[in-house]
Amino acid sequence: MGHFLNVVPGPFSSVSYIKDFEVLAGPFRSTQQKTYMIEGQNKQDESIIYTYILQANKVGTFVIPPATITANGSLITSNSVQIKVQFAPPTVTSENVRDDKEENVADNSIYETVEQMPEYPSGGTAGLMNFISKNLKYPTICQESGVQGRVVVSFVVNKDGSTTDFRIIRSVDKYLDKEALRVLNGMPKWKPGKQKGVPVRVRYTVPINFKLS
């Protein structure tokens, strides 16, 4: 005969820092429910899942420590997770397919991770966040309707430092999405990413927070 524990989870403390990783977005909360019958009685399990989007700062094997949450006065601890980070193969697109017989043809592949990641020219990540903060204009319609959240945008940093191919990978509202794209399109040229000392094209991801005070 099975044992069933009905618990109500306490408040969840979101994570803002994980060693060797940048927290791009999250936590995103979702639930899963499962209903079944045992000895003529209906039983229901509910799982609460918190999801984060992380970006590794370097290659290697890392251990994400256990997460904890309090339920019915007891501290519940999850398992730790081991993650192996390695260089991703270049993205194959129609624009970077080339004839191998041609010599000295520039590599136009788009990488996800390289030995030296692209960098915002004035102050790195902190400088980028400062640029966004100074130039971001909260859409009036979103202020009036109380819409807020985190928009996640990806773009390509080219070999000359220019930025192209902006994409919304996490949308909150069409007006917030539009403002996020407007601000990032106004960025100056970046310091390009490098692989084996050679500038290459790299896809980069940036979260933009819209929060009403």
Give a yes or no: residue 74 inside a domain: yes
pLDDT, one tens digit per residue, over 122-146 is: 999 999 999 999 999 999 999 999 9
pLDDT of residue 7: 46
CA torsion sign for 165, 169, 170, 175 is positive
Please give the residue that has the higher pLDDT: either 89 or 197: 197
pTM: 0.55
Highest mean pLDDT among 24-28, 72-76, 119-123: 119-123
The region that residue 40 occupies, defined by phi over 0 for left and psi between -120 and 50 for alpha, beta otherwise, is left
Q: How far is CA 120 from CA 62, 82, 97, 126, 156, in A?
A: 26, 30, 29, 9, 13
Do residues 49 and 115 both lie within one domain? no
pLDDT value at 121 more than 70: yes
- End residue of a domain, out of 33, 54, 85: 85
Least confident of 44-48, 118-122, 185-189: 44-48
Give one DSSP letter per residue of 17-86, joined into a string. -BTTEEEEEEEEEEEEEEEEEETTEEEEEEEEEEEEEEEESS-EEEEEPPPEEEETTEEEE---EEEEE-
- End residue of a domain, out of 85, 106, 128: 85
| Cβ pair 15, 51 in contact under 8 A | no
- End residue of a domain, out of 68, 85, 102: 85
Q: How far is CA 154 from CA 24, 76, 119, in A?
A: 11, 36, 14
Do residues 124 and 188 both lie within one domain? yes
Number of domains in the chain: 2
> What is the mean pLDDT of the segment spanning 179-200?
96
Do residues 78 and 99 both lie within one domain? no
Do residues 101 and 201 both lie within one domain? yes
- CATH code for the domain in which residue 101 is found: 3.30.2420.10
Give a yes or no: residue 31 inside a domain: yes
Do residues 120 and 162 both lie within one domain? yes
Do residues 148 and 117 both lie within one domain? yes
Range of the domain at 179: 94-210
pLDDT, one tens digit per residue, over 59-112 is: 777 777 777 777 667 777 777 777 777 666 555 554 554 444 443 345 789 999
Give a yes or no: residue 16 inside a domain: no
**Which of 92, 81, 79, 77 is closest to 54 using CA atoms?**
81
Do residues 101 and 78 both lie within one domain? no
Do residues 80 and 59 both lie within one domain? yes
pLDDT of residue 47: 66
pLDDT value at 36 more than 90: no
Do residues 75 and 179 both lie within one domain? no
Do residues 81 and 112 both lie within one domain? no
Give a yes or no: residue 154 inside a domain: yes
Give a yes or no: residue 2 inside a domain: no
Amino acid in position 13: S
The span from the first CA to the last CA of the chain, in angstroms, equals: 52
Do residues 99 and 184 both lie within one domain? yes
pLDDT of residue 6: 45
pLDDT value at 35 more than 90: no
Give a yes or no: residue 148 inside a domain: yes
Do residues 57 and 114 both lie within one domain? no
Task: Tell me how far apart the alpha carbons of residues 123 and 130 are, in angstroms, rounded to a whole number.
Answer: 9
pLDDT of residue 75: 75
Task: Tell me how far apart the alpha carbons of residues 35 and 196 are, in angstroms, rounded to a whole number.
Answer: 54
pLDDT value at 208 more than 80: yes
- Token pair for residue 24? 């791009």
Give a yes or no: residue 197 inside a domain: yes
> What is the mean pLDDT of the segment spanning 113-118?
92
Task: Tell me how far apart the alpha carbons of residues 198 and 170 are, in angstroms, rounded to a whole number.
Answer: 31
